[in-house]
Amino acid sequence: MVINKPSGIAVHADARITDKDITVADLIIDYDKKLEKVGEPMVVEYKGKMINIKRPGIVHRLDKETSGALLIAKNQKTFLFLKEQFQNHTIKKVYHTFVYGHVSDPKASLVTGKRGLINAPIGRSPIDIRMWTAGRGAREPLREAITEYIVLKRFSDENLLTNTTLSKGGMNQDNKFSYVEVYPKTGRTHQIRVHMRYINHPIVSDPLYRGNMELALGMKRLALHSKSITFRFSNGEIKTVESPLPPDFKKVVNKYLK
């Protein structure tokens, strides 16, 4: 099944999430107790203890603040079949996001067509254990990470104009935004967030990677939405499931892009 995950709920527990925090994993088990036996648990070490974290039917994850399509296996055979597709990078995922600044049109290439290409390995940040980074400074081991994207729309927020900007007769980078469609080819932790920061266009309102940029566009959470996911059934049928834009995304689209 594919669920439409709302922002603000973690996919499954980790060492920092208490029993009081409801997760998608909890809701899956409430939906069907039999799914508790599907999938593979994650084992983590916390304060010297090994903790088993349940991940019923969960073959991939979305960050807590990310909304949208999340694929869930309902039996072990399907779980293993989908897991193999993720490992082979044959599952296609599409995300929509708002980023700071006007992203330039990518140069066309024989490989990606008109899509932009970010090919930058990702490793742990040397500054913050919660973060990952691409390029110089990333800690070993580095893992291959490839992201493609297209720019859907560039726009500006005149409400963010400052007196300095007005005196110059134009807008600065802080007033400019882009609506981007993203296609991660690999599935690294925080990949889209890290790669957009890598090209100097962090995701709007990203609590970890936006640097000194302010919350913007009325987005009080990470402006990232899992728009669709395409996978293959065991009979060979290809299925694409789309998630509608959530209300906060719709507000931005209606205000700035129409």
Looking at the fold, whether 118 and 178 belong to one and the same domain comes out as: yes
Looking at the fold, whether 74 and 33 belong to one and the same domain comes out as: yes
Domain boundary among 88, 105, 126: 88
Looking at the fold, whether 56 and 26 belong to one and the same domain comes out as: yes
pLDDT bin (cut points 50, 70, 90) of residue 170 is very low
pLDDT bin (cut points 50, 70, 90) of residue 16 is low
β-pairing verdict for 176-184 and 224-232: unpaired
Which parts of the chain fold into alpha helices (H)?
24-31, 76-87, 163-167, 191-198, 247-256
pLDDT value for 18: 53
- In a domain, residue 82? The reply is yes
Q: By the 8 A CB rule, do 139 and 124 touch?
A: yes
Q: Is the pLDDT of residue 204 over 90?
A: yes
DSSP 106: P
Looking at the fold, whether 100 and 190 belong to one and the same domain comes out as: yes
Q: Where residue 258 sits, what CATH number does that domain have?
A: 3.30.2350.10
- In a domain, residue 112? The reply is yes
Domain boundary among 42, 58, 88: 88
Nearest to 145 by CA among 120, 169, 168, 180: 120
Looking at the fold, whether 221 and 169 belong to one and the same domain comes out as: yes
Looking at the fold, whether 131 and 258 belong to one and the same domain comes out as: yes
- In a domain, residue 241? The reply is no
- In a domain, residue 239? The reply is no
Quote the domain boundaries for residue 22. Answer: 1-88
Q: Is the pLDDT of residue 165 over 50?
A: no
- In a domain, residue 240? The reply is no
pLDDT value for 233: 94
Looking at the fold, whether 69 and 117 belong to one and the same domain comes out as: no
88: CB partners within 8 A, 6+ apart: none
pLDDT value for 168: 45
Domain boundary among 56, 88, 120: 88
Q: By the 8 A CB rule, do 5 and 70 touch?
A: yes
pLDDT value for 162: 54
> What's the rounded Cα separation, in Å, for the pair 60 and 12?
11
Looking at the fold, whether 81 and 101 belong to one and the same domain comes out as: no
Looking at the fold, whether 100 and 196 belong to one and the same domain comes out as: yes
The predicted-structure confidence for 217-236, as pLDDT tens digits, reads as follows: 999 999 999 999 999 999 99
Q: Is the pLDDT of residue 1 over 80?
A: yes
pLDDT value for 17: 55
- In a domain, residue 237? The reply is no
Looking at the fold, whether 58 and 161 belong to one and the same domain comes out as: no
Looking at the fold, whether 102 and 21 belong to one and the same domain comes out as: no
What is the SS3 assignment for 220? Answer: coil
Helix, strand, coil shares, percent, the chain, to 5 = 20, 30, 45
Model pTM?
A: 0.90
- In a domain, residue 53? The reply is yes
- In a domain, residue 235? The reply is no
Number of domains in the chain: 2
Strands (E), 56-193: 67-71, 92-100, 116-119, 122-124, 132-134, 139-143, 146-156, 176-184
Looking at the fold, whether 84 and 140 belong to one and the same domain comes out as: no
Write down the mean pLDDT value for the chain.
Answer: 90
The predicted-structure confidence for 94-150, as pLDDT tens digits, reads as follows: 999 999 999 998 887 777 788 999 999 999 998 888 899 998 888 889 999 999 999
